Amino acid sequence: MDFNRIKEKLNILADAAKYDVSCSSSGSNRKNKDNGLGDTGNGICHTYTEDGRCVSLLKILLTNHCIFDCAYCVTRKSNDIKRAAFKIQEVVDLTINFYRRNYIEGLFLSSGIFKSADYTMERLIAVAKKLREEENFNGYIHLKSIPGASDELMYEAGLYADRLSVNIEIPTISGLKLLAPDKKHEDFIKPMLKVKNEIIRYNEERKIIRSTAKYAPAGQSTQMIIGTTGESDKDIMYSATHFYKNYNMKRVYYSGYVPISTDSRLPCLGSEVPMLRENRLYQTDWLLRFYGFSVNEILDADHPNLEMDIDPKLMWALRNLNHFPVDINKAESRMLARIPGIGMGSVQKIINGRKFRNLSWDHLKKMGVALNRAKYFIICNSNDWERRDLDASKIKGMILQSQNGKFKNHYNNQLSLFN
């Protein structure tokens, strides 16, 4: 193996793949087979890059040659960058050798589209097949579904991969027309639909024949770029909900747009990555998936955007003060989960702990509840609670004063006197 050449390729093709934010290696149930190599489980982040993102998979492109010219993408045809391509065996060797040293949980393989969608998809599948069949590799494999790939190939891909994903990238159809004129919305949807249907079919068959082979056991995910086409948070979250519901997505990722182009349709180079907005969107995503909220409670026609200075649950609570205060020692868990400053971990502790005794402020504090936010919304076993009839803006002001978050300078709008 020519290490110097491989090193050069790896630098180019890892650099091009890093804008894909998905890095999860959990959710699969593939187990080590015949004393071979690898196993999957809850997912492990083996290291973190200096920007704080987890590295759990070897995330690379097979090639960054591409026939498309999507404005938001570094590997677009018209971009003047170094191009490279891995051979199939090279990707296999890298994956196995990194895995054996406990660097990674597996492979995340994506690619620029060369020749045609099917030709590219075939190459991706060939890598996965070789890993599974020749190397008896049971680690995690995440393959990108190439938009426009045929149903037959998508079927085959699911036999070897743990997870498949298509990035829809632009949350609105009009935005897609503007930024990626060569791509059609249907091309993204088709492989997604095929994979979804196959997963359902395999699960049905497994109920009858237990030994039915695995088909994409970790399901599908997708990704949207935030802040390219002036879309609202409502557009993004409604679109995400659509994919969770209709395509049984395991995850939707939100990726703040990192300026990489001078194209006039996009935010200019040097403009800030919308990290705070990205964070608020993920918080909303969690509220929808784990906290029992539905999307129209948080975002609707009157409130199309999330507030940047407070988290979405607090935002919801301030708009719905009629539900509060909640009695910690009596309320059902559904309502406990809606109190700002209380996470699902604390909800479990409260539910269990209150069977033994009525809980007071002290108990809640020790359990890890963020009382600086929660105290305006609860009563507990104490004579001391918020008796003043405060309105939403008052509460918000008091909470903002009491916290010192890392994003504070992002939303501190008050003019300072001396600069």
Query: Can you give the binding site for another protein, defined by CB under 8 A?
Result: 3, 6-7, 10-11, 14-15, 17-19, 31-32, 35-39, 41, 44-55, 58-59, 94, 97-98, 100-103, 136, 258-259, 273, 275, 349-350, 352-357, 359, 363, 366-367, 406
Query: Closest separation between CB of residue 359 and another protein, Å?
Result: 6
184 or 354: CB nearest another protein: 354
141 or 395: CB nearest another protein: 141
275 or 308: CB nearest another protein: 275
Query: Closest separation between CB of residue 110 and another protein, Å?
Result: 13
Residue pair 278/53 in contact by the 8 Å Cβ criterion: no
Our measurement of the distance from residue 221's CA atom to the centroid of its chain's CA atoms, rounded to an integer in Å, reads 8
Query: Closest separation between CB of residue 327 and another protein, Å?
Result: 16
14 or 344: CB nearest another protein: 14
Query: Closest separation between CB of residue 37 and another protein, Å?
Result: 5
Query: Closest separation between CB of residue 254 and another protein, Å?
Result: 14
DSSP-assigned letters across all residues of 333-353: HHHHTTSTT--HHHHHHHHHH
Residue pair 131/165 in contact by the 8 Å Cβ criterion: no
Write the secondary structure of 33-63 as one string of H (helix), E (strand) and C (coil): CCCCECCCECCCCCEECCCCCEECEEEEECE
12 or 71: CB nearest another protein: 12
Residue 141 is inside which H or E element, if any? strand 140-144
CB atoms within 10 A of CB 312: 26
Residue 373 is inside which H or E element, if any? helix 371-374
Query: Closest separation between CB of residue 155 and another protein, Å?
Result: 29
Contacting residues for 218 by C-beta, under 8 A, at least 6 apart: 24, 26, 27, 28, 40, 140, 142, 162, 163, 250
3 or 418: CB nearest another protein: 3
User: Residue-wise over 233-263: b if at least 16 C-beta within 10 A, else e?
Assistant: bbbbbbbbbebbeebebbbbbbbbbbbbbeb
